[in-house]
Amino acid sequence: MNRILAASLFGLSLATSGLAHAEPVKIGVITTLSGGGAGLGIDMRDAFTLAIKQSGNKDVELVIEDDAQKPELAVQIAEKMIQGDKVDLMTGIIWSNLAMAVVPNAVAQDVIYLSPNAGPSALAGANCNANYFNVAYQNDNFHEAMGQYANQDYKNSFILAPNYPAGKDALTGFKRFYKGSLAGEVYTQVGQTDYAAEIAQIRASGADSVYFFLPGGMGIAFMKQYAQSGVGIPVMGPSFSFDQDVLPAVGDAALGVKNSASWSPDLENEASKAFVESFKAEYNRLPSIYAAQSWDTANLILSALSKASAKDKDAFKAALKAADFKSVRGTFSFNTNQHPIQNIYVREVVKDGDVLTNKIVATAFENHKDAYAEQCGL
């Protein structure tokens, strides 16, 4: 009944694994594999399964299910994985609102959850949990980096985001480090596809730059319309609208745009190079940041498994918290609230042959921590 991909299907040989604990571990992966947001979930899943496959660890069993980007369905699948499949660990959720639906209940049932993408502020501060590890970022982080970077060149920025919690986290994060004045602050409708009205406001506002957080199709629509509008004021954003999953759809309109992320395909370290190579070889496309974060999540789990059994929760959590793995992001460690301490880079969209991709142009923050860790009692 379940899509169980026993890792043994593609395991190479046990000899390469060098595993101390041979007890099987079951990981539940809930991610978005159908509907408009499926691209992100597919990148997440592909990187995760590839990392497990490369490790040759035959004791890892994956249970992968599609949440169709619906919170209620995600909750139902989580219940099934916890009560039915009796998974030891869970991961995979892409969207903040789905994470908010699943994570609090999962960790309350003593299941360890590792977030490969979303990082809502509500889970980073007072409601942090010993069973919750965020391997990606806290939602504010990329926006904070761009706010910091904007100080170099801009004094009057126009900022916009969708009118929902992650959107407010985004603009709060940007404003936390941005020192100039605001030419305008606009919250758009969730799922909005036409930004003519907002672009007209930008044109009239006298801004010297635009910062936007519009994930998925919203950002693609905004960039295409903005490029055609003739406004011409420089645009900045977090990586979500400029990553490998959406760049082909945005096209040349994205060229030259500065965006912030914790990783980029050109990042100079061995783990990252090896990851990009093997992902390209396996799937014949460049990995996105979602793939990178998911790859790290898988490798973090593997590193902890080599030290402790997943059944021994306390030892396993300690092993996870040590973050003793080779991250594609270079330096990576966990803060007290079990959210990352990592560098955040500023990247620029460039063309590599025919393919649009990113290259790093600056480091906005070194070993950056989120703003909520102090409220966490861990």
Query: Residue 96 belongs to what H/E stretch?
Result: helix 96-108
Amino acid at position 224, single letter: K
Nearest to 88 by CA among 67, 110, 105: 110
Q: Which two tokens stand for residue 83?
A: 């009560």
Nearer to another protein, 222 or 332 (CB): 222
Shortest distance in whole angstroms from residue 143 CB to another protein = 16
Shortest distance in whole angstroms from residue 209 CB to another protein = 19
Shortest distance in whole angstroms from residue 2 CB to another protein = 5
Q: Are 101 and 74 in contact (CB under 8 A)?
A: yes
CB-count exposure of residue 3 (10 Å: 0-12, 13-18, 19+): exposed
Q: Percentage helix, strand, coil, to 5, in the chain? A: 40, 25, 35
Nearer to another protein, 25 or 356 (CB): 356
The C-alpha torsion from 45 through 48 and 52 to 54, rounded to 10°, is 100
Shortest distance in whole angstroms from residue 343 CB to another protein = 28
Q: Which two tokens stand for residue 311?
A: 């059944």
Q: Which residues pair with 309 in a beta bridge?
A: none
Q: Which residues have CB under 8 Å from 152's CB, separation 6+?
A: none
Distance of alpha carbon 350 from alpha carbon 352, whole angstroms: 6
Q: Are 367 and 343 in contact (CB under 8 A)?
A: yes
**Number of Cβ within a 10 Å radius of residue 260:** 27
Nearer to another protein, 86 or 311 (CB): 86
Q: Which residues pair with 237 in a beta bridge?
A: 259
Shortest distance in whole angstroms from residue 318 CB to another protein = 25
Q: Which two tokens stand for residue 263?
A: 């990783």
Nearer to another protein, 59 or 169 (CB): 169
Shortest distance in whole angstroms from residue 177 CB to another protein = 18
Shortest distance in whole angstroms from residue 59 CB to another protein = 23
Nearer to another protein, 24 or 71 (CB): 71
Nearer to another protein, 154 or 290 (CB): 290
Nearer to another protein, 6 or 204 (CB): 204
Shortest distance in whole angstroms from residue 308 CB to another protein = 27
Q: Which residues have CB under 8 Å from 230's CB, separation 6+?
A: none
Shortest distance in whole angstroms from residue 179 CB to another protein = 18
DSSP-derived letter for residue 203 is H
Nearer to another protein, 285 or 359 (CB): 285
Q: Are 333 and 319 in contact (CB under 8 A)?
A: no
Shortest distance in whole angstroms from residue 348 CB to another protein = 20
Distance of alpha carbon 301 from alpha carbon 27, whole angstroms: 10
The C-alpha torsion from 128 through 320 and 238 to 68, rounded to 10°, is -80
